[in-house]
Homo-oligomer: A and B are copies of this chain.
Amino acid sequence: MAKASTTGVRPTIRMVAELAGVSTATVSYVLSGRRGDAGPGVSDPTAEKVKEAAERLGYRPNQAARAIRTGRTNTVILSLTMLSDPWSLSVIEAVQKASAPLGITPMILGDADWVKVLGTHNADAVFVDAVRPDQRQALLKLAKHGTTLVVFDEKVPADGFDVIRSIAGPGCRMAVEHLLHGHRRIACLTPATAAGTSGGSRYRAYAEALKHAGIAEREDYVGLFDGTSAGAYAAATRVLSLPDRPTAVYATTDFAAVSAINAAQRLGLAVGTDVDIIGVGNTVEGERMSPSLSTVGPVDFFDKLARLLLRRATGHTDTGHADTSAADEPGVLDFPWHLFVRESAPHRSAATRLY
């Protein structure tokens, strides 16, 4: 018997067929489990022979060849712009958990340049977590020509693809108003880029809530940072070291709020007592930490997102002939936001307020 496993060569279905002494069709039936239900049956001894041959050769079906026939890649792509953000990790976790039982693999794209990638790479569904203005045209085009998309954006209109909106504005307003019950000197921690992007609405909620409460906005109370955890920490430290120290901090992301808590504690401030800190996003980390983070955000966001994405991945043939079961058209999915009052910014009554 000649040596069966020639090193370095990727075995094809034909090699397996030859070694097992059967046709490639039989091999395909055996290895993809499609025997018994509808197609031709394969006897147990034959199936055994095939499996053995495949095992000996180290055969693995070629995903590309399979995809070309079936039109499905069993892959979803997650385009995530800020991988270091816990938000992204939550997306990944939820999608992974939901896709495993379906035999679907989530592939993460850590680059902001999803337009170029999606131009050539195929997946059963794609999640995109940010759309720059210059990418909107490309988005429409992709959706129009066979790419199944789920987009997270507050502004883009749904047009042949799903849009998940988690409108931050009102929720953020709630966060700031929560602080306003016990504070007048409220600082804001926000990424420097937030002016242009969707993060802008989170900052705007702060500005407007203050204005509405008749409080003048102070430039030195706005801590801009570079988007990193360390940057948020530094910005928080600066703001909390001001002579006229703010008694509350509104951070436009939970992870910035976490950094702010660390910074406050380093400065010897008791969070929830000397200074209140609230975040935005309702991420799990905030709930688990000590003191637990007060925050605003959507409920059950990640699981619902994952479910939608996988429904699209499985229910929609990428090749196009749309399933005409009228229900479940792509559209806008809106998430309501709630206020989660926890330890880092508790309820303040007249007796406990800091002004």
A residues in contact (CB < 8 Å) with B: 5, 7-11, 57-68, 73-75, 77, 83-84, 86, 89, 92, 96, 105-111, 117, 119-122, 141-142, 144-147, 160, 230, 233-234, 258, 262, 265-266, 268, 285, 288-290, 318-322
Contacts and interface: CB of A to CB of B under 8 A. Distances in A.
A219 B57 CA distance: 51
Contacts of A77: 107
A92 B120 contact: no
Candidate in A11, A64, A144, A233 with the most chain B CB atoms within 10 angstroms: A64
Contacts of A145: 5, 8-11, 57-60
Nearest to A77: B107
A75 B121 contact: yes
Given A58-B141, A145-B58, A262-B262, A64 B8 contact: no
A86 to B, nearest CB: 8
A142 B77 CA distance: 24
Copies in the complex: 2
B5 A144 contact: yes
A314 to B, nearest CB: 17
A157 B5 CA distance: 20
Given A63-B122, A68-B68, A122-B64, A8 B92 contact: no
B117 A230 contact: no
Contacts of A122: 62-64
Nearest to A122: B63
A112 to B, nearest CB: 10
Nearest to A230: B289
A119 B322 contact: no
5 contacts: A64-B67, A83-B89, A83-B92, A84-B89, A105-B111
